[in-house]
A and B are shown apart, each in its own frame.
Chain A
């Protein structure tokens, strides 16, 4: 039996309403306690404007989970088309401070129906995209660019506390990002200093109908395990070795149980095709989480996933390259 080495195991959950259980704190507090030290990372999908399913804001939930955990990476979702990139950038930077380098952003692409509902929930506004797929996709790319530039808009060590010159900050180390496209403009700099990871990991869930540019803009790409992983890996490598985003294979864990050896086989295949890890998607975590943690994960560890979670900064766990600040003068 071959075991993969250093292969990441994550879980995919959503922050929306889970049945009628009103004990949100009990559920999420218990869940993160169980998962910390067991799974490498957690993705929290935001059910923004999903009628009846809409629940917690995923980035805020992530900030609540972070102080209650020590090791698990927390990748929080946001529907970038419908929110302010400036607020998303500072909230994820804050998550990175609170979690001491375990933060990621899941840039969510909503389907057309969900987009129409989200558009209805925020209203028709200047500076937001039209509810048409091409506008939504190009807007998401723009928003990711803004979020990332804002993270770089403070150089490391911008805060100098220099009593002699009476200066708290070195203004030369703050930068306008001056992003502008046909729809909106963001000047910057951020109000939040550069987060511990520099660039928290940006992830997207990619399906074949989406623009490849969206996957290229990300650090981590979730793709269905049953899809053409090897082909996808080849497409993404276009940017040159070392720069391409890491692929994570999505495996759905059905609400009515699973076959651990089937899942182990799928994990082996994914690893062979170039995935960096797997994400187990749980549609009904309320009912599933206990079994997954107590039975499924130990079975997968015994069978295929040799290593316990790595810990450390989330970027490094995905083997992402070190980041350089685009605004810092070359040393």
Chain B
């Protein structure tokens, strides 16, 4: 049996502590030259797509702007369209919320990206946090959790009607619109749809409507469990198991030897979790001011404050049960004798592939063949050159193993991902 082909996405290092800015090799987060470097590098490596996350409000901590991490990014659709102009093959996937956009303007922008890229547009559909981000938008209100997904579903169906070209029309609980566009069928029929929600509702939306899932389940066992869970949801929408690809987010560290790579990983994690940042992470769970604590000392004796409003705003991951999380963290810290900073380095780690290029390539391949994933969305820790070494050293090994393309086979993102060329309407769940 031939081996599964690996899908690779390249996330531009963005607004979070994984992006190391204190390194001398760290370049601009906003100049176009950085985006050009990044895009040319991953296209040289035949990556499937470039991926951008979204955050529509500057993050805050204790009522002040969060100063410790990279902040500031271009408009997602604008920079992707600019990148479409200087690349020929690589897909361009933007994370865009259905909460603070409307179907017609957003669908026509995605249509524009699909047309100008010759069929390389993708949309990672997120439902966004609430009122904190809403403060930047005309309709500042936000929706209860359940309604956000209802809106997302309606939004996608409405967007599809716009993408078909010609007359569009929607009359649903969330949208009542009509009009007529002047473009014919889009190069891909419709942009590739990705989904990153993790809840039951999020997984159902993906099973019924998405082509890709960007997941946080990167370890072998969690990945396999998630993969199996989502794939078994497809049948009731009349979709085959190949119709939805699962791509956990992951990082990598390369070295001359495994020891060298592990040393580097340690140094990178220390850059990612600075002493002050360790305290900020702890405050997200404890929900109190912990600036008086020593990052290199033990965890606080006091318990999290569950009475007051959340101190951290604008982050995708939140700790819903603070008391439980604190108890678990304490246990780890006591068992392994970890300081605050060491603990945070441990508990906030994402899946990392660490080793020599050959070891990293082998492990990526193993995960994919074992159905822990269909590929990965990698985020390097450096802008803009974070993929250069990966492209030079890891990609050729994946190609030799015959699990990654030698060259782009199709002209559209949909085609390169091995998805049905023309979009097919998805049957409703029965």
Chain A residues packing against B (C-beta within 8 Å)? 16-17, 22, 24-25, 28, 47-57, 59-61, 63-68, 82-87, 90-91, 93-95, 97-98, 100, 117, 120-128, 154, 158-159, 161, 163, 166-171, 174, 183-189, 191-193
Contacts and interface: CB of A to CB of B under 8 A. Distances in A.
A24 B32 contact: no
Contacts of A167: 67-68
Contacts of A52: 180-182
B391 interface: no
15 contacts: A55-B181, A57-B108, A63-B78, A63-B82, A64-B81, A95-B78, A123-B177, A125-B139, A128-B138, A166-B276, A168-B21, A184-B138, A185-B140, A186-B137, A192-B30
Contacts of A117: 179
Interface stretch (B69-77, B202-210, B405-413): B69-77
B118 interface: yes
Contacts of A25: 115-116, 118
B138 A125 contact: yes
A49 B140 CA distance: 24
Interface in B146-169: none
B85 A64 contact: yes
Contacts of B275: 166
B138 A84 contact: yes
Contacts of A186: 135-138
A192 B67 contact: no
A86 B21 contact: no
A187 B32 contact: no
Contacts of A126: 138-139, 141
B57 interface: yes
B323 to A, nearest CB: 29
B74 A97 contact: yes
B70 A168 contact: yes
Contacts of A158: 72
A149 to B, nearest CB: 12
A98 B73 contact: no
B112 A170 contact: no
A136 to B, nearest CB: 14
A123 B276 CA distance: 46
Chain B CB count within 10 A is highest, among A87, A95, A170, A183, for: A87
Nearest to A196: B31
A124 B176 contact: yes
A94 B36 CA distance: 14
Interface of B: 21-22, 26, 29-32, 36, 55-58, 64-75, 77-79, 81-82, 84-86, 100-102, 104-105, 108-109, 112-113, 115-116, 118, 135-141, 175-184, 274-277
Contact of B30 (A91, A97, A170): A97
A191 B55 contact: yes
Contacts of A68: 85
A132 B399 CA distance: 61
Contacts of A95: 78
Contact of B75 (A53, A90, A159, A171): A90
A123 B170 CA distance: 10
Interface of B is mostly: loop
Given A22-B184, A64-B85, A185-B135, 7 more contacts: A63-B78, A64-B82, A65-B85, A100-B32, A169-B67, A183-B138, A189-B65
A163 B179 CA distance: 53
A150 B79 CA distance: 18
Contact of A51 (B30, B84, B179): B179
A93 B78 CA distance: 9
Nearest to B176: A123
Nearest to A171: B65
Given A123-B175, A166-B274, A60 B81 contact: yes
Nearest to B177: A123
A166 B84 contact: no
A168 B82 contact: no
A98 B138 contact: no
Contacts of B77: 60, 91
A186 to B, nearest CB: 6
B74 A90 contact: yes
Contacts of A85: 138
A163 B135 CA distance: 32
B182 to A, nearest CB: 3
Given A49-B104, A93-B75, A98-B78, A168 B85 contact: no
Given A51-B180, A87-B75, A167-B67, A174 B137 contact: no
Nearest to B17: A168
Contacts of A16: 182
Nearest to A59: B78
A60 B182 contact: no
Contacts of B180: 51-52, 54
Interface centre among B141, B175, B182 (most CB of A within 10 A): B182
Contacts of B86: 67
Contacts of A67: 32, 36, 82, 85-86
B105 A189 contact: no
Contacts of A65: 85
A159 B28 CA distance: 10
B59 to A, nearest CB: 10
Interface centre among A49, A120, A125, A186, by most chain B C-beta atoms within 10 angstroms, is A49
